[in-house]
Amino acid sequence: MSLLESVELSIKNILASKMRALLTMLGIIIGVTAVILIIGLGNGVNIYMADSFKSLGTNTINVMITGRGSSSRKMSVDDMYALVAKNPKYLLRVSPSVRMTGTVKIGNETSSTSVSIGVSEDYFAIKSYTIASGRGLQYSDILDRSYVCVVGSYIAENYFGNNAVGKTLKIGGAYFEIIGVNSKQGDNASGTTDDYIFVPYTTAARLSSTGTITSYVVEIPSVDDSSAAMQIMNDALYEIFMNSNYYTVRSMGEILNTFTSMVNIMVMVLSIIAGISLVVGGIGIMNIMLVSVTERTKEIGIRKALGAKERYILTQFVIEAATTSAIGGFIGIALGYILSSIATNFIKAALQANLPVSPTASSALMAFGISAGIGIIFGYLPAKKAAALNPIDALRNE
């Protein structure tokens, strides 16, 4: 009697009582569906985060220097440029990024959400920004400490009706000429990158009270290089300041990685909880199989009288349990995928967020394997009981 025939026989037995089989499978179906959904949701959150972080720039590291007050341990913009030039493998380009504190006034309106920062001419390339109209900042603007600026698309649209180039605005009382408009980066809302004003960092430094440059954006080859790049930066800064409290080096990639691993841990914990229902489902299968063995005592007796060895009976019942739970697993996978796509559409409609609930094929495969395995494990005890039945007693059973 081949394995295939045993599977055929068990499918026949399952089909003979569909309702009972479905109820038996229910635990497995729910468990597998839950695992698939949770893993899919975790993936979706990771994709969503990666997307969000990408707009912040995952191929950059941010350096903040708080400094040691009046001490001689200082780092100038030139020092930073020199440091980057010395490590071309991990540090590609650098731009200072100086937050300005002055109030932004456009015409008579005060824009409290607008953020103005001082950057170098490389900043746009580092951030992969492109200029939608006008021109970007140039090296000469930096050298001349010009009062010019590039504005985000929100400002251009909201205050100038998309006709901003050549107009002026005021930051902290100083007039700036708008020379260019940045292309749309986010969803064109206030407070986002689209609400930024970019001015030459030299001009920003002159307007600030201290006149020093304290933060930088450094371009790195890829997210995977963030650790190495941060290491170089940290080492160099420690050499200057001899104390790690006076500077901070952060990487969006690193933060993303931290978030991703946190989400993954969450997903794992939730999957384990969902997995418990798989075990409960397995116990359900064991329960029904025990009932089935009792009901089919006579059949087992007949089969034994006709020459079925114990291992045939054992195999038959184990395969029946495994087939039941594998079918349950299959239904669970299908249900999981269907609910995932419904959830994706729901999230898109309700939250306007691109969070694709995307179960992985490996998670489906794993769920299937686990459910079949559970069938085998929990089917073994009833099967053993069936196989050990004394044929005479079993035949006498009505």
Residues that bind other proteins (CB under 8 A): 1, 5, 12-13, 16, 298-299, 302-310, 312, 391-392, 395
The minimum distance between CB 22 and other proteins, in angstroms, equals 18
Nearest CB to other proteins, comparing residues 235 and 398? 398
Q: How far is the CB of 380 from other proteins (least distance, A)?
A: 19
Cβ atoms of 204 and 117 within 8 Å: the answer is yes
Q: Using DSSP, state whether 395 is helix, strand or coil.
A: helix
Nearer of residues 167 and 384 to other proteins, judged by Cβ: 384
If we measure between CA atoms, which residue out of 257, 132, 137, 227 comes closest to residue 182? 132
What angle is formed at CA 372 by the lines to CA 42 and CA 283, rounded to 5 degrees?
A: 90
Q: Is 107 left (phi over 0), alpha (psi -120 to 50) or beta?
A: left
Give the span between the Cα atoms of 280 and 276, in whole angstroms. 6
Q: Which is nearer to other proteins, 127 or 304 (CB)?
A: 304
Helix (H) or strand (E) run with residue 21 in it: helix 18-56
Tell me the closest approach of the beta carbon of residue 326 to other proteins, in angstroms: 21
Q: Report the relative pairing of strands 174-182 and 148-151 from DSSP bridges.
A: parallel
Q: What span, in angstroms and rounded, lies between the C-alpha atoms of 218 and 93? A: 6
Which CB, 10 or 43, lies closer to other proteins?
A: 10
Q: In the complex with other proteins, which residue's Cβ is closer, 255 or 302?
A: 302
Shortest distance (Å) from residue 309 CB to other proteins? 4
| Closest separation in Å from C-beta 312 to other proteins | 6
For 109-119, letters b (16+ CB in 10 Å) and e give eebeebbbbbb
- Min dist. Cβ of residue 1 to other proteins (A): 5
Phi, then psi, of 92 in degrees rounded to 5? -90, -65
Residue 179: strand, helix, or coil: strand
> Collapsing DSSP states into helix, strand and coil, what is residue 171?
strand
Comparison of 12 and 348: residue with beta carbon closer to other proteins: 12
Residue 60 tokens read as: 């950059």
Name the minimum Å distance from CB 391 to other proteins.
Answer: 5
- Min separation Cβ 2 and other proteins, Å: 9
Q: Which CB, 172 or 391, lies closer to other proteins? A: 391
Q: Closer to other proteins by CB, 147 or 312: give it.
A: 312
Shortest distance in whole angstroms from residue 370 CB to other proteins? 30
CA-based nearest residue to 387, from 281, 316, 329: 316
| Closest to 200 in 3D by CA, of 153, 135, 150, 130 | 150
Yes or no: say if 148 and 200 are a contact pair by the CB < 8 Å rule.
yes
Which one, 127 or 296, has the nearer CB to other proteins? 296
How many C-beta atoms lie closer than 10 Å to residue 224's C-beta?
11
Pairing of strands 109-111, 104-106: antiparallel
